[in-house]
Structure 1
Amino acid sequence: MDESGNINFLKKTSAEYFPRKEILDALPVHLRQLIQGLPSALWDSMEEIRLRTNQPLLVQSLNRDIFIYVNGETGTETSKAYVTSKADLEKTFQLVTDYSVYALEEDIKKGFITIRGGHRVGISGHTVMNGPAIKTIKDISGLNIRISRQKIGISDAYMEYITTSPNNFKNTLIISPPQCGKTTLLRDMIRNLSNGMIRKGFQGFKVGVVDERSEICGSYQGIPQNDVGIRTDILDACPKAEGIMMLIRSMSPQIIATDEIGKIEDVIAIEEALNAGVKVLTTVHGHSLEEVCRRPNLKPLMEQNIFERIIILSNHPRVGTVQSILDGRTRVSLLHPTGISRRCESIG
């Protein structure tokens, strides 16, 4: 592979919103003191903070586990790591829920809570069932603080591929392996589509977002913590299929955006949106177009060439690489007009 020209939007210089205080406020005082002194470079690349009962305190950065030592230093030796206690988990959970577990029961039984700033706290523990449904999670044994970062402007270079005239957006699918930046790219595309880009020749579209996992907009108490544009309407924590139909009936969107489609009901709802004249921007987990096309639920959409643009992300040579942008009908790379190429291009 020629790496001389890698499109790596996660490396692109952009306005980035990441206040440390929102993360630190979710931690007990002694854990806060351990973590707040971490090097700035580690804060800048930090993806997760992991707390597990009777296990080492660690952060994940650039897909590497880094242990937090009892003296506040970091390293890879588990013997020196601070061991998270049950009391640490209980106190952190109280702070995350703002001492109101009952008010957040609906979120808790889904396995995560969104805190101020759009950061998401994953929960593991003992699940309490009510018949076939999960009622809640108790005896919390693990918390995963997933750090949300918005990178303003990372989609600018790609808008010309998905908007070809002032009033024409092309149905777009982003294919990506886990943790390769697909939601980050999707979020910024939504912002650009909603706000409009005068230099690109369009004023802006009415965008409806079905944010089932609260990852796109990061809504906290109903208010999106991420900038998703001035013409955007959000259904937070709503199942995709139901949300798509709700938006069509009530908000007259020109574009509907969702993350991580895969269920047959998602596909049916997308077809309904297209039949109603609404365009679609969405993502799917996958390592290649071929893999996605083989999935039974997605096969009808792919065989009908519903998506006019297909953006493929990769973690090679590094996370955040745009491997290709394809014409959805011809499957020809728009980065390489002579045909599909596996080489990555550079945007500088």
Structure 2
Amino acid sequence: MLELFPVSLRLVLERIPAFARETLEEIRIRENRPLEIGYGSRYAFVREDGSLTELGHDAFVPGKEHCRALLERITNHSIYAAEEELRRGYITVSGGHRVGLAGRAVLDKGAVFHLRDIAGFNVRIARARIGFAAQVLPGLLDFKARTIRHALIVSPPQQGKTTLIRDLARSISSGQWHHPAARDWGSRKVGVVDERSEIAASDKGVPTFDLGPRCDVLDACPKAEGIMMMLRSMSPEIIVVDEIGRQEDAEAIHEAVHAGVRVLATAHAAELSDLFGRPALAKLAETGIFGSYVFLTRDGSKVNHRIVSAEEAERQTSRSRLRTIAATPRDAPGAGGAQPEIEGSGLPGQSIVKNRALPVIRSPDMRLSGGSEDA
């Protein structure tokens, strides 16, 4: 992976201490700002000799020439060929490593058309953890159907969702169910829709990560369209997809479920309340699509998991909605004492506060300069 970087940057990164290199998660290059790495859930700046420091002013500072050379390398010296990826704000390089980009967005009719003046890079290191699935897969099994339940893996960024879903795909495709009652089940056909090229890290269509012998990968394809393509052409028994969240993703998952295919997906959220606060995911939950939710948390280099059934998820969200209905701001009149009941509901309500006129706020007239297509 270090071959990705220009020589002067590579020499600095090669000197990073072994303990940090072995758990390296992110490399952040920002033009004219200190070089930073993330490792084992920790962050540090990097000096020119590779040693680590918490002081930014003491660190190696990449310049414009470093950023320009890095951009040339990750786009294979053809920025125009990578236009679509630049528009999405990241480029996935060989090995499944994703390079996030920050710069100036160029707009076309209100939508991001391109990125220019790119001066920030976040290289996220992709790693395979063989055996990660053994801890989680037994809790996702549907013993009656001899396969998995529809499952959604949930966590904030950088908690191990993609690493887990990759190893789950490998285990299922290999028939490694990690449960004594499933020894004679055999393997299943797995279809991976890999929009960001991170799950399989395909090179010219061939996965470079081990996803098992019965896995087909649709690389660099939008999730919703890819799910439908898999259903039409590859007859998968299980579809694996990363980072769902849009309405079209939810609709495609509905199609897959009603076609008799099991779905294994991931999504960004910290808790159930966050998850169900996202409209598309809330709709999936309300229709009972997912039989299990797997929540991941990091404790240093260790990843912990918690499996929540669909029934328990519904109970938790119902209690949360009741607390929201009954909630009263701490500074509202009568907040510290007994609260009146909402008529006919049996629930405590908020004190009635009379409306009052708001003061008029006047601002001095300001001339706005003409806009441009750059934002």
**Is TM > 0.5 for Structure 1 vs Structure 2?**
yes
Which residue of 165, 184, 197 corresponds with 1:214?
197
- Write the distance in 1 (CA, Å) between the matches of 2:190 and 2:16: 39
If asked which structure has higher relative contact order (CA below 8 Å, sep 6+), I would say: 1
Structure 1 pair 291–108 and aligned structure 2 pair: CA distance change class (3 A): closer
After TM superposition, give the deviation of residue 132 of structure 1 in Å: 4.6
Shift of 1:303: 2.3
**1:270 and 2:253 aligned:** yes
The answer to whether 1:139 aligns with 2:117 is: yes
User: Residue in 2 aligned with 1:187?
Assistant: 166
Preserved CA contact (<8 Å) 1:117 1:148:
yes
Unmatched 5+ stretches in structure 1: 1-21, 333-348
Q: CA deviation at 1:237?
A: 2.2
Instruction: Work out whether residues 181 and 319 of structure 1, in 8 Å CA contact, stay in contact via their aligned partners in 2.
Output: no
Q: SS in structure 2 opposite 1:25?
A: helix
- The letter for the 1-side match of 2:146 is N
1:317 offset after TM fit, Å?
Answer: 8.1
Query: Is this contact kept in 2: 1:118–1:220, CA < 8 A?
Result: no
Aligned pair partner of 1:159 in 127, 137, 159: 137
Distance 1:110 1:272 in 2: 26
Tell me the alpha carbon deviations over residues 152-195 of structure 1, each in whole angstroms, 9 at most, x when there is no partner: 11111322222344832211111212221111111110111112
1:234 aligns with 2:217: yes
Structure 2 residue 175 is matched with structure 1 residue 196: yes
| CA distance 1:129–1:303, change in 2 (3 Å) | closer
**Corresponding residue for 2:262?**
279
Letter in 2 for 1:190: A
* Aligned 8 A contact 1:172 1:281 in 2: yes
Aligned counterpart, 2:53: 75
Residue by residue over 1:96-137, the C-alpha shift from the partner in whole angstroms, topping out at 9 and shown as x without a partner, is: 222232332222222222222111111222233444544432
Q: Does the 8 A contact of 1:114 with 1:220 survive in 2?
A: no
* Structure 2 unaligned blocks of 5 or more: 315-375
Q: Among the aligned pairs, what percent are the same residue?
A: 41
Query: 2:309 maps to what in 1?
Result: 327
Call closer, same or farther: CA 1:105–1:290 in 2, change over 3 Å.
closer
Among candidates 59, 73, 92, match of residue 95 of structure 1: 73
Report deviation, 1:311.
Answer: 1.4
Indicate yes or no: 2:64 matched with 1:86.
yes
CA-CA distance at 1:67 after TM superposition: 1.1
Q: Secondary structure at the match of 2:103?
A: strand
Whole-angstrom CA distance in 2 between matches of 1:189 and 1:294: 27
- For 1:233, the aligned partner's letter is D
1:312 has 2:292 as partner: no
Cα contact 1:118–1:224 (8 A) shared by 2:
no
Aligned to 2:228: 245
How far apart in 1 are the matches of 2:4 and 2:193? 27
How far did 1:91 drift?
Answer: 0.9
1:246-273 alpha-carbon deviations (Å, 9 max, x no partner): 1111111111111122212211111111
Q: 2-side partners of 1:39 and 1:189: how far apart?
A: 32
State whether residues 115 and 220 of structure 1, in contact with CA within 8 Å, keep that contact through their aligned partners in structure 2. no
Displacement of 1:206: 1.1
Instruction: Note closer, same or farther for the CA distance 1:175–1:57 as it changes in structure 2 (3 Å cut).
Output: same
For 1:54 and 1:317, how far apart are their aligned partners in 2?
30
TM-score normalised according to structure 1 size: 0.82
